[in-house]
Amino acid sequence: KYRADGRANETAEETERRRSEDRLQIIARRNNMSAEETQQRHSDDRLRANARRNNMTAEETEELHSDDQLRAIARRNNESFEVRNQHQA
């Protein structure tokens, strides 16, 4: 039996081994990238992240802003706690 891509049906172990090899090839390619290629990849990653944000629903955007606000409050509270502890020491 063959799949649509022409490969014979694989066992779970064969599939896992192939995926592992694919991951290793990706890592090897990244390790061999020039500084310019690495910068381009980071730029592409940022563009993809921006595209995802632009495609968010209003609810998802509001949730993201809410999470950001909660993180900022937690950071401020943590900083205040550390300052109080320094004054008490």
Maximum separation of any 2 CA atoms in the chain, in Å: 74
Fill in the amino acid letter for 20: S
Mean pLDDT, residues 16-24: 88
Kindly state the tokens that stand for 35.
């500084």
Note the pLDDT tens digit of each residue in 39-89: 888 888 888 888 887 887 788 878 888 888 999 998 888 887 777 777 776
Fill in the amino acid letter for 28: A
